[in-house]
């Protein structure tokens, strides 16, 4: 695979004027400017380079992150907690069955308790409104660790991964194939703000909403990139430099599984679909992968797959988010 940039080279390429994000929430990519997203990416590359070089960065000693999970997680939980450990701070996993947010205690009251003790809150929720409400009532920064609407931390790590492998985000054809879901929404917003060329291949009924597309395209005005939606997966990946896919059934959609299994098979990322992309295209998946459904073993374990780089970069991108929101 061509063009595997070092973290130092990527840091140089993503250099941008530093935006001040102290005290901000991270609820949606759409709330950020290009300069702010570039600031997060630059910090993520720098923190990864420091970590790789063994340079300690105990930036959050004495600070605590509260982690709320209404849904399961491997990557989000481990990377946020590991990031706080590497920063010399601490993370508390508030398992939903213990806290019972919304039943034992209201969302506003959970926020108004937590902000008396902790410095930052990360929440993985079913309804996007829950993380919006947490941010409205908590006086400390709140980070969206996935909602039914979006997954901003994932996409920041993915942008870092694309820069590492391709050295840039623009003048590349990025294709997303599959369900127009929460991950897709964050990718579309990032594409609009940063001027990326994004082609989404999704079946009718599962395509990104007009609301999301209109907002992203409005932010893309003046850039060379475009955001295009295709019903044909081959049209989406034709000549692509990056192919991205995700689960056909997201957490909370289990009741729709049978219908989704009927609709999505033509959108599987397999060797035949990959053959329509550039020969050195990279293949991305936010994970967990459902092998044999949205992606085959052949592709996921093949030389073009960067899925575990994405997983690693959750750590670095989220450390950048924590440091910037806490002003260190």
Residues designated catalytic: 124, 151, 154, 246, 286, 314
183 forms part of the interface with ligand NVA (CB under 6 A): yes
Task: List the x/- string, 8-47, binding to ligand NVA by CB under 6 A.
Answer: ----------------------------------------
What is the closest distance, in whole angstroms, from the C-beta atom of residue 146 to ligand NVA in the complex?
A: 6
Q: Does 274 bind ligand CP (CB under 6 A)?
A: no
- Residues in the chain, total: 328
Q: Which does 74 bind (CB under 5 to 8 A by kind): ligand NVA, ligand CP, none?
A: ligand CP
- Closer CB to ligand NVA, 46 or 185, in the complex: 185
Q: What is the DSSP letter of 197?
A: E
Output the smallest distance, CB 184 to ligand NVA, in A.
8
How far is Cα 97 from Cα 76, in angstroms, rounded to an integer? 18
Quick one: which segment of 56-64, 69-77, 90-98, 202-210 binds ligand CP (CB under 6 A)? 69-77
E-only strand ranges, 72-155: 90-95, 120-124, 142-144
Strands 90-95 and 197-201 come out as unpaired
Contacts of 277 (CB under 8 A, 6+ apart): 175, 237, 238, 239, 240, 241, 243
Comparison of 245 and 296: residue with beta carbon closer to ligand NVA: 245
Q: Which is nearer to ligand NVA, 146 or 157 (CB)?
A: 146
What separation in angstroms does the CA of 36 have from each of 29, 182, 325?
A: 10, 21, 11
* Closer CB to ligand NVA, 11 or 68, in the complex: 68
DSSP-based three-state secondary structure for 235: helix
Out of 10, 28, 46, 73, which residue is the one contacting ligand CP (CB under 6 A)? 73
How many residues form the binding site for ligand NVA (CB under 6 A)?
A: 9
Q: By CB under 6 A, is residue 182 in contact with ligand NVA?
A: yes
84 or 307: CB nearest ligand NVA = 307
What is the phi-psi region of residue 195: left when phi exceeds 0, alpha when psi lies from -120 to 50, beta otherwise? left
Tokens of 258: 């049978």
Which residues lie below 8 Å from residue 310, measured CB to CB, with a gap of 6+? 154, 157, 158, 161, 284, 285, 286, 287
Q: Residue 25 touches which of ligand NVA, ligand CP, none (CB < 5 to 8 A by kind)?
A: none
Buried b (16+ CB within 10 A) or exposed e, 280-299: ebbbbbbbebeeebbbbeeb
Residue 153 interacts with ligand NVA (CB under 6 A): yes or no: no
Least Cα distance to 195 among 231, 234, 221 occurs for: 221
Quick check: 68 binds ligand CP (CB under 6 A)?
no
**Closest approach of Cβ 74 to ligand CP, in Å?**
4
When the beta carbons of 190 and 220 are compared against ligand CP, the nearer one is 190
DSSP state of 105: B
20/256 Cα distance (integer angstroms)? 42
- Can residue 154 be called a binding residue for ligand CP (CB under 6 A)? yes
Span interacting with ligand CP, options 42-50, 71-79, 273-281, 291-299, rule CB under 6 A: 71-79
**Residue nearer to ligand CP on the CB measure, 74 or 328:** 74
296 binds ligand CP (CB under 6 A): no
User: Shortest gap between Cβ of 33 and ligand NVA (angstroms)?
Assistant: 26
Cα torsion angle, 305, 202, 36, 146, sign = negative
Q: Does 146 bind ligand CP (CB under 6 A)?
A: yes
Q: Using CB under 6 A as the criterion, which residues of the chain lie in contact with ligand NVA when the complex forms?
A: 146, 181-183, 246-247, 250-251, 286
């Amino acid at each position: 695979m061509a063009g595997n940039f070092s973290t130092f080279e990527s840091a140089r390429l993503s250099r941008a004027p530093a935006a001040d994000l102290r005290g901000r929430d991270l609820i949606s990519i759409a709330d950020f400017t290009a300069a702010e997203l570039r600031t997060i990416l630059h910090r993520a590359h720098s923190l990864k380079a420091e970590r790789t070089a063994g340079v300690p960065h105990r930036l959050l000693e004495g600070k605590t992150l509260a982690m709320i999970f209404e849904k399961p997680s491997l990557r989000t939980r481990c990377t946020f907690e590991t990031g706080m450990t590497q920063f010399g701070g601490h993370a508390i996993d508030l398992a939903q069955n213990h806290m019972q947010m919304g039943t034992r205690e209201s969302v506003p009251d959970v926020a108004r308790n937590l902000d008396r003790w902790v410095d930052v809150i990360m929440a993985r929720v079913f309804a996007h409104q829950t993380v919006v409400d947490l941010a409205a009532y908590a006086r400390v920064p709140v980070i969206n660790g996935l909602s039914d609407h979006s997954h901003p931390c994932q996409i920041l790590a993915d942008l870092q991964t694309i820069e590492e492998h391709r050295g840039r985000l623009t003048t590349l054809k990025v294709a997303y194939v599959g369900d127009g879901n929460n991950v897709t929404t964050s990718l579309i917003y990032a594409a609009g703000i940063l001027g990326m060329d994004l082609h989404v291949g999704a079946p009718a009924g599962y395509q990104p909403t007009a609301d999301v597309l209109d907002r992203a395209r409005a932010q893309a005005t003046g850039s060379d990139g475009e955001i295009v939606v295709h019903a044909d997966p081959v049209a989406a990946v034709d000549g692509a430099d990056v192919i991205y896919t995700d689960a056909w059934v997201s957490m909370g959609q289990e009741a729709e599984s049978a219908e989704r299994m009927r609709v999505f098979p033509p959108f599987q990322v397999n060797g035949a679909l990959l053959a329509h992309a550039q020969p050195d295209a990279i293949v991305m998946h936010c994970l967990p992968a459902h092998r044999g459904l949205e992606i085959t073993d052949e592709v996921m374990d093949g030389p073009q797959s960067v899925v575990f780089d994405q997983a690693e970069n959750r750590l670095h991108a989220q450390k950048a988010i924590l440091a910037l929101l806490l002003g260190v």
